[in-house]
Structure 1
Amino acid sequence: MGKYESPNYKVLTKDGNFEVREYSDFYVIEYDNDFDLEINQGFGTLFNYISSDNEDRMKISMTVPVIEEVTGDKKKMAFVVPAQFGEDIPKPNSSHLSVKKFDQGIFATITYSGFTNNTKEEKMKSNLENWLVEKGYTGQSNYMLAQYNPPFVPPMFRKNEIIIRIKKKGDHYE
């Protein structure tokens, strides 16, 4: 994990495996395909993009996390764009990829290890949702799954997170 760039954030609150974070703006390359609702070709399409399948034919460093988001009846997948590009990001050749800005904001997360699956993700979403209610926060986005490791990393060393944009509680986060 340490060798891959990830978005900048500041931890505002830590409570066990829960955190409230303030993220800075960053950009992602997002895979969105109405004919691939389960994003079966998402990772490969994104990997081709960073391997030089872009208008500049430029190789782009891998970053973490890989972010998945369920929107309605389909999923989207995104890679974080390395900060060195700023807003000058190579345009994707694939019509299923687009550059999106991930706006700064406050997010709540729950971190867990092992391989992830739908059952585990739903349990973590529920745990995070209960924690948010207990702390008086309100979700402002869809839940997102963030995965930090390549497939060959053993389960006990894997890091996954469920992330959601949240609304302030009063004037501050506690």
Structure 2
Amino acid sequence: MTSVLKAIGSVVTSKGLDKPVYETLSSDKGYELRRYSPAKWVSYTTKHMKQEKARTEGFWKLFNYIQGENEKEMKIDMTAPVSTKVEPGAGPNCESTFTVSFFIPPEHQENPPQPKNPNVFIEERPEFEAYVKTFGGFAKEDSWINEAQKLSEDLKEKTNEVRQDYWFTAGYNSPFQLFGRTNEIWFVKK
């Protein structure tokens, strides 16, 4: 239990945590265009009506993986952000597909330990470019949707090069961090 509390405590702020490498290509009012380097992430996919339930379920599956539920029974440092790929369902009362992911730290990128849970998997994300909107506060379901809509409207005027079939949320902070919170919406460029 002490190691779990210590691990959760290590994410009270995202300072000092490993993060995916990216380059800012351009910056506009309220958003940036970034190029992310190829990287491995540990992921879990689920279907839900609510993003919060999916994120919570995915977080704990992935947290167990970094706490040693992997083939090497190795503890792995927490990273930031916790990203969630959102693939909207066909209608307003349909489940959406959510893939919750933790970035794998640089020292494990070459050969990450395989998960013991058959529903947790190692995902290789190729290099990609994304339009990113950053906002603060405690992001809830409505916050993510409202910020995604704002970014979508801003981009509609400038480009039609955005994937329409999915988008990402990225949260950088523990629920215990009250101030200075960072959240992002990522729209992947086609």
Q: Normalising by structure 1, what TM-score? A: 0.88
**Given that residues 48 and 98 in structure 2 are in contact (C-alpha distance below 8 angstroms), is that contact kept between their aligned partners in structure 1?**
no
**Off by >6 Å, runs of 4+ in structure 1:** none
Moved more, 22-31 or 11-20: 11-20
Q: What residue in structure 2 maps to residue 170 of structure 1?
A: none
CA–CA separation in structure 2 for the residues paired with 1:124 and 1:6: 22
1:3 paired residue among 16, 26, 34: 16
The 1:34–1:94 alpha-carbon spacing in structure 2 relative to 1, beyond 3 Å, is farther
1:162 aligns with 2:185: yes
Q: What residue in structure 2 maps to residue 53 of structure 1?
A: 69
Deviations 1:16-35 (A, max 9, x none): 43000011001111112458
Q: Secondary structure at the match of 2:137?
A: coil
Q: What residue in structure 1 maps to residue 175 of structure 2?
A: 151
Q: What residue in structure 1 maps to residue 59 of structure 2?
A: 43
CA–CA separation in structure 1 for the residues paired with 2:184 and 2:138: 11
Matches within 5 A, 1:1-174: 1-33=14-46, 38-39=53-54, 40-71=56-87, 72=89, 73-140=96-163, 142-154=166-178, 156-167=179-190
CA–CA separation in structure 1 for the residues paired with 2:32 and 2:116: 37
Gaps of 5+ in 1: 168-174
Q: CA deviation at 1:133?
A: 1.5
Q: CA deviation at 1:164?
A: 1.4
Deviations 1:55-106 (A, max 9, x none): 0011111100001122232322110101222331100001110000111021
Q: Secondary structure at the match of 2:100?
A: strand
CA–CA separation in structure 2 for the residues paired with 1:129 and 1:56: 42
Gaps of 5+ in 2: 1-13, 90-95
Q: Secondary structure at the match of 1:95?
A: coil
**Given that residues 67 and 145 in structure 1 are in contact (C-alpha distance below 8 angstroms), is that contact kept between their aligned partners in structure 2?**
yes
Q: Secondary structure at the match of 2:113?
A: coil
CA–CA separation in structure 2 for the residues paired with 1:138 and 1:164: 10
The 1:35–1:148 alpha-carbon spacing in structure 2 relative to 1, beyond 3 Å, is closer
